[in-house]
A and B are shown apart, each in its own frame.
Chain A
């Protein structure tokens, strides 16, 4: 008894729209050349010509070092060897953030021109975050792909029973997808901002990257608060059942059921709980640091801003890595998982296999695991 409007309408419309969009994008890329910004060779000549081809940072470092010696052309000094590095970074940082507020007008207190952590921060970003962030994600993707190839799609052992039990309410599902949607927007725009220069410039060129980054930056700033809102909703909605329990220790001991036999779990297993707390802790850190980056006038202690950029980038990579794994297991990686977030209910056999203690709680029935083959065998069998 369904009455959907006819398919051809949509397909035709989609075809027309995608054609127009293609046209638009094509022209836009060409258009980027005629952007209101001056072309980049103009920028180079105008600003850096008097100082030669050195970067600003290099010049600053020269100043800091008393202008003695020849700085390396691109400033590629490995972090531990960087000159001017404070002996104890943590202590210096602590001093920075606990120092009494300085008056910018410099009529009182100790006026300072340089902030010693700046170099530390700059090199940390340049030598560690930018080169490795992308590779971490590539490695995670590779791991997931490897797991997928070796283990295959994790099937429901006894097949689908066709009977469903309730798992997530509409409110839970909406909260989840709300966060998922805003997270994906934040992740994509964030990655473009972070990795546009090393990754995208060689592919699409500086002009297109400039346009894209401008757009992504605005988008990222704008969706940030939406992300925070959806994050808070998820934190509260999903808190129940996500505190660690004794069953989780046993779950770890059994390698999550992938290595050594069946691992029992309640509504959420150890992996899911860990993901929840990563979302909570890293998510809140991302929110806080993000707000500081968005509203920098909140504090004029530079160290906070430096810490924020580092934490924001690191946290983002961590969260995206987890999210990739989560998305894999939640969809193609495991039969029956996606039902819980789409239908709000899961197959009985899926529940028995993956959340037996929860299944027993809600149905009052017992689950036996005696007839189960060793998990390792199953893994081999399906590989």
Chain B
């Protein structure tokens, strides 16, 4: 029991380094009330107590009690925890990766306000350092190391899609333009599955008179490092964007409709590379909201289908963009209904935090997605669901396919919807 394998030792050392005073106060304050289970869609859909969010933290709690907790020299007289073993860490792998989207819903119900999602993120650092993480994410990591995109999207593939969109829209999609104001990032899911978004950007920015560009060096916004929990990899991916943005001399970097990508560069990015950026990071919804407020992208005829919106956790609850998407929606569709838990209390689609890249977790993910579907069903005949996150859209597509209900409604991005409902009468170009 006392002998620790090298793997376990690496994990423990990394975890000890991850524990800051925030994490310490979380682990100290948890009173084991179990309320968090009531907020977790994985517990709710399985009713298996092991999916209780705070239970997922147990290995970290053990490490904390053994190596970091104040007064541990006293409590350990009465028998502290046994050193953590590799086996235990592996036992918990499923809980740390497969059954946590890091969506942060549990925090809402926690009487101690513990940020369990953020703590899981730190735990994954230990797991990633010890290389205990799902094969799906290992594959994604390989792809990233080869092409900078978890789906293996190459520069060439990007340019092909750009070409197609230019043909389709008749608009120029600027690439690698130095001195542009905005550098737009995309998620690989968008590039491959919904390249129309590039056309949509072109249409909107053309209308608003915004100078923007894509980059062949930094087109990928997703950050597998954050999902895996590998600090070094995450830093490398952020650094790539920062270098390119500063080389092009842009004022703003636009994070696309992709959940964790936004948090990775907007909130975690500067901390990863250890300095503030020379540019400002904005989410595409922020940019659109601002352009609309300035009157630069007037609304046209609104979409009259019955619609609702799925709030991506990392953009809304954990990203801070609660009102922007709603203001945009107000002006883009005329028959909008909120689902039961919307905004800050939304349910995750089930696939966030790397779960959708982890085939082993598919059953759990589809089960959790069932929760979302239930809420959509409660609204009656919904014709389209606005999902401002490419990863969530992918989960919706997979989930609807698994449930064999693909034809029930359209899944649409918000920027796409804004582009589609832009006023028809373009002002004469200046």
Contact = CB atoms under 8 A, between A and B. Distances in A.
* A and B touching (Cβ–Cβ under 8 A): yes
Contacts of B62: 3
Contacts of B80: 6, 9
A296 B50 CA distance: 52
B82 interface: yes
Interface in A103-133: none
Contact of A13 (B58, B59, B78): B78
Given A1-B50, A3-B58, A12 B78 contact: yes
Nearest to B59: A3
A8 interface: yes
Contact of A5 (B50, B81, B88): B81
B265 to A, nearest CB: 36
B79 interface: yes
Interface in B65-105: 78-82, 88, 91-92
B79 A12 contact: yes
Given A1-B91, A3-B88, A8 B58 contact: no
Interface string B248-273: 00000000000000000000000000
A218 B143 CA distance: 72
Contacts of A1: 50, 91-92
Contacts of A8: 78-79
- Size bracket, chain B contacts: 10 to 19
Contacts, number: 22
A9 B58 contact: no
Contacts of A7: 79
Interface in A67-109: none
B50 A9 contact: no
B81 A6 contact: yes
B91 A6 contact: no
A219 B59 CA distance: 42
Contacts of B50: 1
Contacts of A6: 79-82
A9 B78 contact: yes
Contact of A9 (B59, B79, B91, B92): B79
Given A3-B58, A9-B80, A13-B78, 11 more contacts: A1-B50, A1-B91, A1-B92, A3-B62, A5-B81, A6-B79, A6-B82, A8-B79, A9-B79, A12-B78, A12-B79
Interface of A: 1, 3, 5-9, 12-13
13 contacts: A1-B50, A1-B91, A1-B92, A3-B88, A5-B81, A6-B79, A6-B81, A6-B82, A7-B79, A9-B79, A9-B80, A12-B78, A13-B78
4 closest Cβ pairs, A-B complex:
A9-B79, A8-B79, A9-B78, A6-B79
